[in-house]
Structure 1
Amino acid sequence: MRPGRARVPEITASGQTWLVPAGSNLLDSLNGVGLRVPYSCRSGRCHACLVRCVRGDVLDAQPDALADSLREQGWRLACQCRVVDDLDVQLFDPSRDGLPAQVQALDWPSPTVLRLRLLPERPLRYAAGQHLVLWNDQGIARPYSLASLPGEESWLEFHLDCRQPGAFSDRARQLHPGDSLRLGELRGGALHYDPDWQERPLWLLAAGTGLAPLWGVLREALRQHHQGPIRLIHLAHDAGEHYLAEALRELAAQHANLQVELLVATEPAAALADLRLVSRQTIALLCGSPASVEAFARRLYLLGVPRNQVLADIFLPHA
């Protein structure tokens, strides 16, 4: 190597060793040689591209995206890392690193939503609003929000949007009770219930299967005897896609402080035009596609809800 010339980093993974330009994206470098590291968002949100650096380190754009315990073990999100040194990388192996889970039940609460319930090999501690990476038998990984209520339901519940073809959802259609999946990292998103909100108005605004985590958050709030008014709005493409309509109406009948609104609209902004604010103390939790969350957030901004009282989780389409 000539004096002063930048050193070219070397990556070793799955029995292969190759050189990459300094500053190369780690996910692209691994997939570029055919290692098929899964990913969904490329923004550090989904955690499907988890890999372990067993020798060397990387330039990490989001060092706080993983728990300290995982980082100390060398785990990194490949999509957020730049290669600046020689690396020995261990890919996430669901058969070794994942938690086994068995399919307990599947059903279709609407023509396009698959409700999947899994029983993990050992109990999993989680909070309403969190999500998990699911791995199928083909090595395809996708993040899904938990819809189950921790501490009260032995299963883990997920709502899969099957309106469009997808590598994971297409395979999920073929699952049967007793089949096995693997669970990856448990991830805490922005959505949660804080007991300090007890007396404040709580708005839960969901589009499509963005209802899944808010279904868990809603029941957590009710379990903790939330005193303020709760307003849940579910936006769907058509009336048949209000897949939890009956369960939501039953909860509203049991809790005088819960108001449920089921809206149908192809344009979210139009459906929200009549939304009015009662109190600037309102806490709002939003979940759905980027367009729907943006429409929710814009309407709340115009109504005067402070931005620090608006928490959102966006379901990004598979990259």
Structure 2
Amino acid sequence: MNFHIQYQGRTVPLNQGETVLEALERTGIDVPSSCRAGACQTCMMRATEGSVPHAAQAGLKETLKKSGHFLSCICRPAQNLVCEPAHTADFRGPVTIQEIRPLGPDVVLVQLSRPPNFDFNPGQFVTLRRADAVSRSYSIASQRAALDTLDIHVRRVPQGQLSGWFHQEARPGDELWLEGPKGDCFYYPGNPEEPLLLIGTGTGMAPLFAVALDACQQGHTGPISIYHGALSADRFYLVEELQELTRAFPQISYVRCVLKGPAESGIQVGELKDIVLSGLTDPKQKRVYLCGDPGLVRILKKQIFLAGVSMNRLHADPFVGTGA
């Protein structure tokens, strides 16, 4: 007996032995995917009706399993299934720019009006869309206590349509369409002594700073190691804020890494991935967060997994780019 899938308003028949991903692609539906083997979790979806095989949830956190999430590349349903993208937003609606101010040579803070009852975990992301349909995803840099506003950090990217607009043309009062929050790159309470490893480049440091501060405010006592990578020392930002965080919370260590340039106090020179892996101890005990350059995130995610960190303890930005 053949079954069918309902996905975003379309009904797709399943051929014998076919995965959900294969069926959707066969009928022209584009689904993000990468490894196609259940490792990277790029193709994750959520079942809203019907049950998915346990094998299709291999490596997922218990919270995701209970909420019906599954990996479409290895899911061969034994019944009809209604599903949706994994990161379906809780809120969709307009927001207004409140303020734009520089944080560094090529980074600005964009403060947005926070919709009423908009709840999020620090480190999650939102998708913003301009009136001409240009859209990009940005991590939330705020804490929950900021009741009226949401902050994002935008690095100017060459030929970046939205980042260039934020840096040159956008003004307070301009309106955008927001969807969110999305993503699982946030602090998980319940094990305050577990070691956290946070690794980021560029504006990927915004969600990592938010995660580290949120962890400490929730009483996390275990070590929190933050690695901040850049091509050269002049590309760092949030340095003073991160250093202040280490002074306020002794369990936090902060290491800056540059690919080139002379070694300076508090800065290591070399490949970020090599520096991180050389200091990786007790990998099975760590929870790891990766944000920033998508190529580096992919490489580090694979190598840290191979070093012994389980996939369900690896959290990474699920979107490509950091502000194009």
| TM-score normalised by the chain length of structure 1 | 0.66
Do the aligned partners of residues 66 and 131 (structure 1) sit closer, same or farther apart at CA in structure 2, a change above 3 Å counting?
farther
Alignment of 1:153-232 (within 5 A): 153-173=147-167, 174-184=169-179, 186-232=180-226
Shift of 1:257: 0.6
The residue type paired with residue 172 of structure 2 is: P
Give 2:32's match in structure 1, choosing from 43, 48, 68. 43
Do the aligned partners of residues 251 and 301 (structure 1) sit closer, same or farther apart at CA in structure 2, a change above 3 Å counting?
same
Give 1:249's match in structure 2, choosing from 243, 252, 259. 243
CA distance in 2 between partners of 1:301 and 1:100 (Å): 39
Alignment of 1:62-211 (within 5 A): 63-64=45-46, 98-173=92-167, 174-184=169-179, 186-211=180-205
Shift of 1:155: 1.3
C-alpha contact 2:283 2:308 (8 A) present in aligned 1: no
Structure 1 residue aligned with 2:295: 291
Of the structure 1 ranges 202-211 and 113-122, higher mean CA displacement relative to structure 2 is found in 113-122
Do the aligned partners of residues 101 and 308 (structure 1) sit closer, same or farther apart at CA in structure 2, a change above 3 Å counting?
closer
Cα offsets for 1:260-283 (capped at 9, x unmatched) = 111112743344353231564121
CA distance in 1 between partners of 2:186 and 2:145 (Å): 15
CA distance in 2 between partners of 1:44 and 1:171 (Å): 30
The residue type paired with residue 300 of structure 2 is: F
Cα RMSD of the aligned pairs, angstroms, is 3.3
The residue type paired with residue 163 of structure 2 is: S
Shift of 1:226: 0.5
Structure 2: gaps (5+ residues): 1-8, 10-24, 35-42, 51-90, 261-270
3-state SS of the aligned residue for 1:209?
helix
Shift of 1:246: 0.6
Do the aligned partners of residues 165 and 121 (structure 1) sit closer, same or farther apart at CA in structure 2, a change above 3 Å counting?
same
3-state SS of the aligned residue for 2:291?
strand
Shift of 1:166: 1.3
Work out whether 1:265 is the aligned partner of 2:259.
yes
C-alpha contact 2:114 2:147 (8 A) present in aligned 1: no
Structure 2 residue aligned with 1:25: 28
The number of residues matched between the two structures is 242
Shift of 1:306: 3.5
Cα offsets for 1:64-91 (capped at 9, x unmatched) = 18999xxxxxxxxxxxxxxxxxxxxxxx
CA distance in 2 between partners of 1:127 and 1:66 (Å): 23
Quick one: percent identity of the two aligned structures? 28
Please identify runs of 4+ aligned residues in structure 1 that moved more than 4 A: 65-68
| TM-score normalised by the chain length of structure 2 | 0.65
Alignment of 1:49-64 (within 5 A): 63-64=45-46
The residue type paired with residue 155 of structure 1 is: T
CA distance in 2 between partners of 1:171 and 1:66 (Å): 38
Say which one has the larger Rg.
1
Shift of 1:143: 1.5
3-state SS of the aligned residue for 1:128?
coil
C-alpha contact 1:272 1:299 (8 A) present in aligned 2: no
3-state SS of the aligned residue for 2:220?
coil
Do the aligned partners of residues 191 and 178 (structure 1) sit closer, same or farther apart at CA in structure 2, a change above 3 Å counting?
same
Do the aligned partners of residues 291 and 23 (structure 1) sit closer, same or farther apart at CA in structure 2, a change above 3 Å counting?
closer
C-alpha contact 1:264 1:271 (8 A) present in aligned 2: no
Do the aligned partners of residues 262 and 154 (structure 1) sit closer, same or farther apart at CA in structure 2, a change above 3 Å counting?
farther
Structure 1: gaps (5+ residues): 1-10, 12-21, 28-41, 46-60, 69-96
The residue type paired with residue 248 of structure 1 is: L
Cα offsets for 1:36-74 (capped at 9, x unmatched) = xxxxxx6289xxxxxxxxxxxxxxx86518999xxxxxx
Do the aligned partners of residues 140 and 67 (structure 1) sit closer, same or farther apart at CA in structure 2, a change above 3 Å counting?
farther
Shift of 1:177: 2.0
